[in-house]
Amino acid sequence: MNMENKMSTALGDPTNNRRHAVSGPSGVKCATEASDGVSRQAPERRHASGEAFNNGKTQFSTREELRIGTWNVRGLLMAGKLTMVDAEMDRCHVSVLGLSETHMRGRGHFDTASGNTMYFSGNDDKSERGVAILLPKQMNKYVLGYNPVSDRIITMRLNARPTVLNIVQIYAPTSTATEEDIDSYYSAVVDTINKIPNREVTIIIGDWNAKVGNTTNDHHIRNIVGSFGMGDRNDRGQRLIEFCIEKSLFITNTHFQHHPRRLYTWTSPGARYRNQIDYILINTRWKSSVRNVKTYPGAECGSDHNLLVARFALRLKAPRKSLKPNLSVLEPPERIKFKTIVESKLAKLPSLGEDPDSQWNKLKTQIRETLDEIKACRKSGQSAHKTKAWLADDTWELIRKCKDARMSGQQNANVRKEYSNLWKAVKKQCRRDKNNFLSIICNEIETHSLKFQTSDLFKKVRLISKQFKPKSWVITDEDGTDITDLEAIAERWRVYCEKLYSQQLSSHTPCTNWSEMDLEPAILRSEITAAIAKLKCRKAPGPDQITAEILQALGDR
């Protein structure tokens, strides 16, 4: 027996203690349906690399990697479920996370409690199917547009170098679907891909509900699959391979040799079988940019699917946007500091001998410089307004115990029962924490009412009473076609406004003789002070970005 066969035998036996040197649970049976046990296994390979992205940079360097993941979460409607997904995305340093089976209705985007942004597309009538793309806050600056195609497909365009990066998140029909449903789904995916320019990078991620199976002997399609597929191929897997051949796509899951714990993406009820049905595909032209692909069995959200993450050597570039100072985001001590600094700077400016426009420009400059100085004093990542996390510490401790039970191996009936009981307790405590959070908000509303703080009162009332309404920037052109690209949307608004205000003046418009009109008296200082005092706060500023709060903070100066 040669060394290769010895390694195969040693690592392939689920009861062999020598497998324990590899990270992960021991005693795991890895199989697909009624197939034989997997005998070709390999220890996990670790690559030294940087984080997914650096918060302090506006674009990726050549040595940094973009981590793109996909996860079937089996619904996000449970209280606290989205918070768990947010936490796992942050823990695994995922830059772009595609989600399948979200069960969310409608389409649009919104900010989560942790500051991430979710772009989703779901069924309008039922809480079933649904796909989404979850981005960290610092990734939003790269978004060029997104298109909620259906409750099974959503696309997103990211500004990257040397070309645009397209993310397509899908959720394929399950094994109970008819052939008509499968044909309709693949037809929609093909139509979506055909709309993407060939020069751009396309990455298709999601739950395909197909088994590509063992690919060791597929030498004739080595540009489509690697050598490390898992399990037995079924008809849906063959259909997926034919689709990849037609569209020149590479199945990245099969390209890297890992232990089966890092290959399977779905566990059957009772943990009898473990299959690989979630995949990450990329244009064959760009497959060399894939550094590694593997699952993270330790990621926990109550789903029977594992988080699948791929590392890509891609660089993103963000547009340079000027900071818009807004005093309303400054804390009271910062407002006092702002007023003191501006007054000292204004005292040094000449009050006479200059026209009003020059004086106003100098005032704006001093205000903006002062705001920049104050904001620079803040610690990195500090924010004036943070959303309160309502999941309690004991709930997070239960979630950690769920992870431990999941990683210890669910082949044992006692472990499966323990995991089930723990997850029931997690759901119960999530509901408890949500009710406690609402009770705290109601108490704050009562306090605001007693103190006649109407603004804060109605803000809290809207927080707990308003219906969920996601944001959406998708608009239609003159022909009724949806526009999803940001540049095309801006151009459409420009044309619309230009057409709206380009109406010719009527020839009967009376001419005004301004020389015959009486001049207004000079503006008094008291009138300016009264006008500033009457300005409404928390309103959008003009092009100069000077808000009512800024002018009122300056006082009588």
The pLDDT value given to residue 469: 75
Contacts for 244 with CB less than 8 Å, ≥ 6 apart = 224, 225, 250, 251, 281
The encoded tokens of residue 62 equal 């050549």
The pLDDT value given to residue 235: 93
Fill in the DSSP letter of residue 96. Answer: E
* Rg, Å, the chain Cα set: 29
Fill in the DSSP letter of residue 61. Answer: -
Please answer whether residues 308 and 265 qualify as being in contact, where contact means their C-beta atoms are separated by less than 8 angstroms: yes
The pLDDT value given to residue 507: 56
User: Strands, E, within 59-159: which ranges?
Assistant: 66-72, 96-100, 107-111, 117-121, 131-135, 143-147, 153-158
Q: How far apart are CA 550 and CA 553, in angstroms?
A: 5
Which one-letter amino acid corresponds to residue 501?
Answer: Y
Which CATH number applies to 27-316? 3.60.10.10
Other C-beta atoms closer than 10 Å to the C-beta of 443 total 11
Fill in the DSSP letter of residue 335. Answer: H
Q: How far apart are CA 166 and CA 160, in angstroms?
A: 9
| Domain coordinates in residue numbering, the chain | 27-316, 325-377+527-557, 389-495
Other C-beta atoms closer than 10 Å to the C-beta of 492 total 16
User: Strands, E, within 75-207: which ranges?
Assistant: 96-100, 107-111, 117-121, 131-135, 143-147, 153-158, 160-161, 165-171, 201-207
The pLDDT value given to residue 322: 52
Which one-letter amino acid corresponds to residue 478?
Answer: E
The pLDDT value given to residue 170: 96
Contacts for 225 with CB less than 8 Å, ≥ 6 apart = 212, 215, 218, 241, 244, 250, 251, 254, 255
- Residue 347, helix vs strand vs coil: helix
Please answer whether residues 170 and 153 qualify as being in contact, where contact means their C-beta atoms are separated by less than 8 angstroms: yes
Beta bridge partners of 480: none
Q: How far apart are CA 28 and CA 13, in angstroms?
A: 10
DSSP for 206-250, written as a single string:
EE--------TT-GGGTTTB-S---S---HHHHHHHHHHHHHTEE
Q: How far apart are CA 283 and CA 251, in angstroms?
A: 9
The pLDDT value given to residue 547: 81
- Tens place of pLDDT for every residue, the chain, 557 residues? 444 444 443 333 333 333 333 344 433 334 333 333 333 333 333 333 333 333 333 443 334 689 999 999 999 998 889 999 999 999 999 999 999 999 999 999 999 988 899 999 999 888 899 999 999 988 988 999 999 999 999 999 998 888 889 999 999 999 889 999 999 999 999 999 999 999 899 999 999 999 999 999 999 999 999 999 998 999 999 999 999 999 999 999 999 999 988 999 998 887 788 899 999 999 999 998 899 999 999 898 889 999 999 999 876 666 655 545 455 556 667 777 877 887 787 777 766 566 778 878 888 888 888 877 777 766 544 544 445 578 888 888 888 888 787 777 666 777 778 878 888 888 888 888 888 888 888 988 888 888 888 888 888 888 888 777 777 777 888 887 888 788 888 888 888 888 887 765 555 666 777 666 777 788 888 888 888 888 888 788 888 777 887 777 777 66
- Residue 309, helix vs strand vs coil: strand
The pLDDT value given to residue 330: 63
Q: How far apart are CA 464 and CA 469, in angstroms?
A: 13
Q: How far apart are CA 50 and CA 52, in angstroms?
A: 7
* Owner of token pair 């989703």: 120
